[in-house]
Structure 1
Amino acid sequence: MNATLRRAAVALTATAMAVSLAACGSAKEANGKQGSGEKKKDGPLTIGLLLPEDQTARYENFDKPLIEAKIKELCSDCEVTYVNAKQDASVQQQQMDSMITKKVDVIILDAVDAKSVSGSVRKADSAGIPVVAYDRLAEGPISAYTSFDNEEVGKVQGQALLDAIGDKADDGQIVMMNGSPTDPNAAMFKKGAKSVLNGKVKVGKSYDTTKWEPSEAHKNMNGAISAIGKKNIVGVYSANDGMAGGIITALKGAGFDKLPPVTGQDAELAGVQRIVAGEQHMSVYKPYKPEADAAAEMAIALARGEELKAETTVDSPTTKGVPATLIAPISLTVDNIEKTVLKDGLYELKQICTPKYEAACAKAGLTG
Structure 2
Amino acid sequence: MKMKSMLSAGAAVVVAMTLATACGVTTSGSSGDNSSGGGSSSSSSGSGTIALLLPDTTSSARYESQDKPDFTAEVKKLDPSAKVDYQNAQGDSTTQQQQAEAEITNGAKVLVVDPVDSAAAATIVTEADKAGVKVISYDRMISKAPVDYYVSFDNEEVGKLQGQYIADHTPKGGTVVMIDGAQTDNNALDFRKGAHEVLDPLFKNGTLKLGYESYTPNWDPQNGLREMEQALTKLNNHVDAVLSANDGLAGSVIQALSAQHLAGKVPVTGQDATDAGLHDIMLGTQSMTVYKAVPQEAKVAAELAVDILKGQKPGSDLVNGTQDNGSGTPIPAVLLKPVVVTKDNIQDTVIKDGFTTMAKINNPK
Q: TM-score, normalising length from structure 1? A: 0.83
How many aligned positions are there?
318
Q: 1:334 aligns with which of 321, 336, 343?
A: 343
Does the aligned pair in 1 maintain the 2:264–2:284 contact within 8 Å? no
Secondary structure in 1 matching 2:119: coil
Q: Which amino acid aligns with 1:12?
A: A
Bigger helix fraction: 1
1:285 to 2:288 alignment: no
Q: In 2 relative to 1, CA 347–226 (structure 1 residues): closer, same or farther, beyond 3 Å?
A: same
The one-character-per-residue Cα deviations of 1:128-169 (angstroms, maximum 9, x if unpaired) are 00000000111322100110000000001111122121xx13
1:254 to 2:254 alignment: no
Secondary structure in 2 matching 1:206: strand
Q: In 2 relative to 1, CA 135–10 (structure 1 residues): closer, same or farther, beyond 3 Å?
A: closer
Shift of 1:347: 1.6
Find the aligned partners of 2:156 and 2:337 in 1 and give their Cα distance: 10
Secondary structure in 2 matching 1:48: strand
Secondary structure in 1 matching 2:240: strand
Alignment correspondent of 1:136 = 140
Find the aligned partners of 2:45 and 2:229 in 1 and give their Cα distance: 57
1:233 to 2:233 alignment: no
Find the aligned partners of 2:62 and 2:194 in 1 and give their Cα distance: 22
Find the aligned partners of 1:271 and 1:68 in 2 and give their Cα distance: 26
In structure 2, the gaps of 5 or more residues are: 1-8, 15-42, 203-207
Q: 2:163 aligns with which of 158, 163, 178?
A: 158
Alignment correspondent of 2:119 = 115
Does the aligned pair in 1 maintain the 2:246–2:272 contact within 8 Å? yes
Shift of 1:45: 1.6
Find the aligned partners of 1:329 and 1:316 in 2 and give their Cα distance: 20
1:187 to 2:189 alignment: yes
Q: In 2 relative to 1, CA 145–256 (structure 1 residues): closer, same or farther, beyond 3 Å?
A: same
Alignment correspondent of 1:218 = 225
Alignment correspondent of 1:95 = 99
Q: 1:82 aligns with which of 68, 83, 86?
A: 86
Alignment correspondent of 1:127 = 131
Does the aligned pair in 2 maintain the 1:130–1:303 contact within 8 Å? no
Q: 2:273 aligns with which of 245, 267, 277?
A: 267
Shift of 1:42: 4.2
Q: In 2 relative to 1, CA 11–186 (structure 1 residues): closer, same or farther, beyond 3 Å?
A: closer
Q: In 2 relative to 1, CA 11–188 (structure 1 residues): closer, same or farther, beyond 3 Å?
A: closer
Find the aligned partners of 1:227 and 1:349 in 2 and give their Cα distance: 38
Find the aligned partners of 1:257 and 1:123 in 2 and give their Cα distance: 48
Shift of 1:292: 1.1
Find the aligned partners of 1:161 and 1:207 in 2 and give their Cα distance: 17
Alignment correspondent of 1:178 = 180
Secondary structure in 2 matching 1:103: coil
1:321 to 2:322 alignment: no
Alignment correspondent of 1:20 = none
Q: TM-score, normalising length from structure 2? A: 0.84
Dislocated runs of 4+, deviation >6 Å? none
Shift of 1:317: 1.5
Find the aligned partners of 1:352 and 1:290 in 2 and give their Cα distance: 20
Shift of 1:44: 1.5
Q: Which amino acid aligns with 1:322?
A: I
Does the aligned pair in 2 maintain the 1:252–1:259 contact within 8 Å? no
